[in-house]
């Protein structure tokens, strides 16, 4: 910056003012400085700037880089932050709680102006403590919160939509693939979806007909689960896979085994992934508008950075998307 000041024949404070667009600079000064900046192809040192004021950078803790739904979220954020002059940096973590916490700490150490946590596994108390230190938005069913905002889909309702749909088709015995999680963690999507499933089944008087299949939401996890579902007695006529990726695994295994879908077994996913809409998959699923969710999270974070401190807990309404993998049990209502 000193070089620029010399080149332009002005003080470094003036350079700083021009660069920040601060008030109280003549247009002549602006031109001279900008010309010198150009001539020397000077770029401001973000760290030095960050030592005094904001970094104009927000951090995202990404708990699973493979999940395509999370990619959607990030795209929504990118658009909002980009248009507001904020930069976005993503710190990849794993599913483990320690990994996620250390990634979050690192983001704070880097003096990010705000944090968005995507489906964190940390406990509420811990999240509250982070929220006290830095503006924060959590994506996932985490409300109510004191010191941070949350955005999530109404996963209980989403599960209920699936159950209602299947029951209205005539299904009674329905399986749900749990994503393995500690029983005391009520703030995870898998908890909310399991809860919604159980309640909806109860509402239809089917509490004795539900089957919880322990397993993991992944392609392989879905295949494993499908194997066990076929062996169950009585065998379920429908499966709520919990997530699209798990549904893909289930479908894959069932198809290989010659099980007809949806005639023999109906399958519903969750997330409405792009792949699911395509033939020959045509997966019945629940849409939770990830793009919009990401954009909302970004806007909430900007509000918090601007000073708001009352917590917002936004819940988006999911939509059921009926496609070809669900039908009345035993009935081939549509060709596949």
- The interface region with DNA, picked from 11-19, 133-141, 214-222, 317-325 by CB under 7 A, is 11-19
Among 40, 51, 95, 232, binds DNA (CB under 7 A): 51
Q: Is 108 in the site for DNA (CB under 7 A)?
A: no
**Closer CB to DNA, 42 or 255, in the complex:** 42
Sheet holding 238-240, edge to edge: 210-215, 174-179, 238-240, 266-268
**Closer CB to a copy of itself, 33 or 60, in the complex:** 60
Residue 136 host element (H or E): strand 136-139
**Closer CB to DNA, 43 or 335, in the complex:** 43
Q: How far is the CB of 185 from a copy of itself (least distance, A)?
A: 25
Which residues of the chain form contacts with a copy of itself (CB under 8 A)?
A: 43-48, 50-51, 55, 57, 62, 65-66, 68, 71, 74-75, 78, 87-92, 105-106, 108-111, 219, 248-249, 252-253, 255-256, 274-275, 278-280
Strand partners, 267: 239
**Closer CB to a copy of itself, 143 or 276, in the complex:** 276
Contact partners, residue 324, CB within 8 Å, separation at least 6: 262, 282, 283, 284, 334, 336
> What does 26 interact with, of DNA, a copy of itself, none (CB < 5 to 8 A by kind)?
DNA
In the numeric block, the tokens 């403590």 are attached to: 129
SS3 label, residue 27: helix
**Closer CB to a copy of itself, 90 or 320, in the complex:** 90
* Phi/psi-derived region of residue 174, left when phi > 0, alpha when psi is between -120 and 50, beta in every other case: beta
> What does 7 interact with, of a copy of itself, DNA, none (CB < 5 to 8 A by kind)?
none
Q: Is 133 in the site for DNA (CB under 7 A)?
A: no
Q: Is the peptide bond prior to 236 cis by the omega test (within 30 degrees of 0)?
A: no
Q: Is 317 in the site for DNA (CB under 7 A)?
A: no
Contact partners, residue 201, CB within 8 Å, separation at least 6: 163, 174, 207, 209, 210
> What does 279 interact with, of DNA, a copy of itself, none (CB < 5 to 8 A by kind)?
a copy of itself
> What does 321 interact with, of a copy of itself, DNA, none (CB < 5 to 8 A by kind)?
none
* Phi/psi-derived region of residue 58, left when phi > 0, alpha when psi is between -120 and 50, beta in every other case: beta
Q: At what angle do helices 12-20 and 27-40 cross, to 10 degrees?
A: 90
Among 31, 39, 53, 186, binds DNA (CB under 7 A): 53
SS3 label, residue 76: helix
> What does 10 interact with, of DNA, a copy of itself, none (CB < 5 to 8 A by kind)?
DNA
**Closer CB to a copy of itself, 212 or 278, in the complex:** 278
Q: Is the dihedral of CA 17, 298, 87, 115 positive or negative?
A: positive
Footprint of DNA (CB under 7 A): 1-2, 9-14, 16-17, 19-20, 22-26, 28-29, 42-45, 48-49, 51-53
């Amino acid at each position: 910056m000193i070089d620029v000041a010399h080149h332009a024949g002005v003080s470094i404070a003036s350079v700083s003012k021009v660069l920040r667009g601060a008030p109280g600079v003549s247009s002549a000064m602006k031109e001279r400085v900008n010309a010198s900046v150009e001539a020397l192809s000077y770029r401001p040192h973000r760290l030095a700037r960050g030592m005094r004021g904001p970094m104009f950078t927000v951090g995202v803790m990404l708990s699973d880089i493979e999940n395509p739904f999370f990619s959607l979220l990030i795209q929504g954020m990118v658009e909002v932050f980009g248009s507001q002059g904020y930069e976005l940096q993503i710190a990849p973590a794993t599913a483990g709680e320690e990994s996620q916490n250390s990634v979050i700490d690192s983001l704070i150490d880097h003096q990010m102006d705000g944090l968005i946590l995507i489906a964190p596994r940390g406990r509420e108390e811990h999240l509250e403590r982070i929220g006290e230190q830095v503006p924060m938005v959590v994506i996932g069913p985490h409300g109510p919160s004191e010191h941070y905002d949350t955005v999530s889909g109404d996963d209980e309702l989403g599960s209920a939509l699936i159950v209602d749909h299947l029951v209205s088709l005539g299904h009674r015995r329905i399986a749900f693939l749990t994503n393995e999680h500690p029983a005391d963690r009520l703030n995870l999507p898998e908890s909310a979806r399991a809860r919604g499933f159980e309640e909806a089944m109860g509402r239809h008087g089917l509490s004795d007909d539900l089957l919880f299949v322990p397993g993991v939401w992944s392609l392989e996890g879905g295949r494993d689960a499908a194997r066990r579902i076929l062996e169950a007695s009585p065998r379920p006529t429908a499966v709520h896979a919990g997530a699209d990726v798990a549904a893909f695994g289930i479908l894959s295994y069932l198809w290989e085994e010659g099980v007809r879908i949806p005639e023999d077994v109906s399958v519903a996913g969750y997330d409405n992934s792009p792949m699911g809409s395509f033939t020959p998959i045509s997966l019945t699923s629940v849409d939770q508008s990830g793009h919009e969710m990401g954009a909302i999270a970004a806007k909430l974070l900007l509000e918090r950075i601007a000073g708001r401190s009352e917590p917002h807990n936004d819940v988006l309404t999911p939509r059921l998307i009926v496609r070809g993998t669900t039908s009345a049990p035993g009935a081939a209502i549509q060709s596949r």
